[in-house]
Copies of this chain bind each other. A is one copy, B any other.
Amino acid sequence: MELALELKPVSLIGFGDGAEAAAFTAINPATGQALEPKFFAASADDLERATSLAQAAFPIYSKLSGKEKGAFLRRIAAAIEAAAPAIIQRANLETALPEARLQGEVGRTCNQLRLFAEVVEEGSWVDARIDNADPNRKPLPKPSIRSMHHPLGPVAVFGASNFPLAFSVAGGDTASALAAGNPVIVKAHPAHPGTSALVGHAIRESVRASGLPEGVFSLLFDAGVEVGIRLVKHPAIKAVAFTGSFAGGTALMKLAAARPEPIPCYSEMGSVNPVFVLPGALSERGSAVATGLQASFTLGAGQFCTKPGLVLVPQADGTPGFLKELGDRVHTTPPQTLLTKAIADRYTAAVKGRDATVLAQGAEAPAGSEAATVQASLFVADYKDLQENAELAQEIFGPTTVVVGYQDRKQLLAVAEQLEGHLTATLQADESELGDYADLIDILTRKVGRLILNAYPTGVEVCHAMVHGGPFPATSDGRSTSVGSQAIFRFTRLVCYQSFPDAALPDELKSSNPLGIMRLVDGERTRAASA
């Protein structure tokens, strides 16, 4: 079934329409067929208009109260929910992701928007700090100094292919950038332009209904990389957020660093998410671990950035049983349709080229099909193979993983120490053996953003404490997170005011604390007035 989009298939430049420049279509990865309508890439003029509207909107939008920003974010969530049936139907055609998954992703997208609404409505997130004056201090009087986080300016967000909603037009990057007070210009992912358009219109209508300047949001289409490159190089843009490949993420990092005015670039570039199965866990519940692993590495057809792509398992009595169970489960895994034919072809080539033993494969994809359908693959190797073949510790995007056997604790620690930066590391362990492996936990703490015990890395909770980040090459900037409320700080900078009277200060910094937020006053956290 084709969905007749009633929207003009052009970029959204504030409240206006983009040009009808170069045309492209989305492809249904389940059939290989082009999906109506044709979409049109943004023109150079569209980009200029979008950036100057964003620049004009910034002074107004950045001064909105937390309550006003919160209402705007909640309005976007409601507009997406209202359009959910159409969005899910179109996203299913464009991505081959099942409707239940997309339904969940709509929920997560709206939850993210509402979490940030909550954060800015409450208001303490700005980390207001007040150091009171002391005119009698010797040798010099102490001035009053008051600081808080301010927004950076217009942010460029790149939609991701693998999360057409939660990391795309109204995804986490957009939500956190808007929450911080920044206009957003999204470069839509070309694989799901219809989904992007539907969500883009939901945001545009929320901008309008909230009485905000149109430049708060624009959406640019392009089948290639030109529009994205021009966007990142544009002087009006003050930060970049991207989720996708290492090649794409590092290209944007270089562009952002090479500008006359370098800007922060947050690229989330995927990860192998190593899983360390400790001896106790293997012997006591090897079968359950095998079941959980298969479910995790094939979830969403293995297209999550948190997919476990490397599993360390002890060579012990339980190993053959564990491998048998895992192999059997992989063997019965149905064919998996990936997001695009190009991704499917890369997956198939990478799996074919992997220098390791294939332990099991899932059901074969139908021969001769134009669909982006592939076969799940399970590899096995040992410590020595991993030492000799660094490729085994590299990500293959799609439903595959490699199980590496280790002989002893020394090999296990060596593998951990040699890891690059990853988003996550997972321990499958008996709680009683954790003490014995404290050194492993220490090493992993230096390598990843999230450590998981006795669960699986897929599934990222959206909350205050979540860290979805990790040292390079997992991300461009391991200091931050792209999921959870702390993501807001990617798009802010500190500003302080010296000797300003209340009347000239933002509400967050006034002595009476009119917003009732938690502040650091002379080093103490308090909601009390400051003087």
Identify which of B262, B466, B497, B523 contacts A464 (C-beta below 8 A): B523
Contact present for A498 and B59 (CB under 8 Å) = no
Contact present for B446 and A131 (CB under 8 Å) = no
Q: How far is the CA of A459 from the CA of B494 in the complex (A)?
A: 19
Contact present for A145 and B465 (CB under 8 Å) = yes
A442 within 8 Å of B by Cβ?
yes
A87 within 8 Å of B by Cβ?
no
Chain B proximity of A60: nearest CB distance (Å): 10
Chain B proximity of A521: nearest CB distance (Å): 9
Residues of B near A66 (CB, < 8 A) are none
Residues of B near A204 (CB, < 8 A) are none
Contact present for B494 and A453 (CB under 8 Å) = no
A418 within 8 Å of B by Cβ?
no
CB nearest to A142 among chain B residues? B461
Q: How far is the CA of A114 from the CA of B457 in the complex (A)?
A: 41
Identify which of B479, B489, B496 contacts A493 (C-beta below 8 A): B479
Chain B proximity of A246: nearest CB distance (Å): 12
Q: How far is the CA of A469 from the CA of B147 in the complex (A)?
A: 12
Q: How far is the CA of A131 from the CA of B484 in the complex (A)?
A: 11
Q: Contacting chain B: which of A89-97, A340-348, A470-478? A: A470-478
- Contact string against B for A residues 498-531, beta-carbon threshold 8 Å, 1 for contact and 0 otherwise: 1111011000000000000010101101000000
Q: How far is the CA of A443 from the CA of B62 in the complex (A)?
A: 12
A101 within 8 Å of B by Cβ?
no
Contact present for B499 and A145 (CB under 8 Å) = no
Q: Contacting chain B: which of A77-85, A161-169, A225-233, A430-438? A: A430-438
Q: How far is the CA of A240 from the CA of B499 in the complex (A)?
A: 32
A155 within 8 Å of B by Cβ?
no
* Max chain B Cβ within 10 angstroms of own Cβ: one of A431, A503, A523: A523
Identify which of B63, B461, B493 contacts A145 (C-beta below 8 A): B461
Chain B proximity of A147: nearest CB distance (Å): 4
Residues of B near A497 (CB, < 8 A) are 450-451, 453
Chain B proximity of A494: nearest CB distance (Å): 4
Residues of B near A446 (CB, < 8 A) are 58-59, 62, 150, 153
A492 within 8 Å of B by Cβ?
yes
Identify which of B118, B131, B469 contacts A463 (C-beta below 8 A): B131
CB nearest to A118 among chain B residues? B523
Within 8 A of B (CB), among A411-467: 421, 431, 434-435, 438, 441-443, 445-446, 448-455, 459, 461, 463-467
CB nearest to A463 among chain B residues? B131
Contact present for A147 and B520 (CB under 8 Å) = no
Contact present for A496 and B467 (CB under 8 Å) = yes
Contact present for A262 and B472 (CB under 8 Å) = yes
Known: A464-B129, A466-B147, A504-B438. A450 touches B525 (CB 8 A): no
Contact present for A147 and B503 (CB under 8 Å) = no
Jot down 5 A-B pairs with beta carbons below 8 A, ordered by A: A59-B446, A129-B486, A152-B478, A264-B479, A467-B495
Given A147-B465, A431-B503, A465-B520, 8 further pairs, Cβ under 8 A:
A59-B446, A131-B466, A152-B479, A449-B493, A449-B494, A464-B523, A467-B494, A479-B489
Interface residues of chain A, those whose CB is within 8 Å of chain B, are: 58-59, 62-63, 104, 118, 122, 124, 129-131, 139-140, 142-143, 145-147, 150, 152-153, 253-254, 257, 261-262, 264, 421, 431, 434-435, 438, 441-443, 445-446, 448-455, 459, 461, 463-467, 469, 471-473, 476-481, 486, 489, 492-501, 503-504, 518, 520, 522-523, 525
Closest 3 CB pairs of A and B: A129-B465, A467-B496, A147-B465
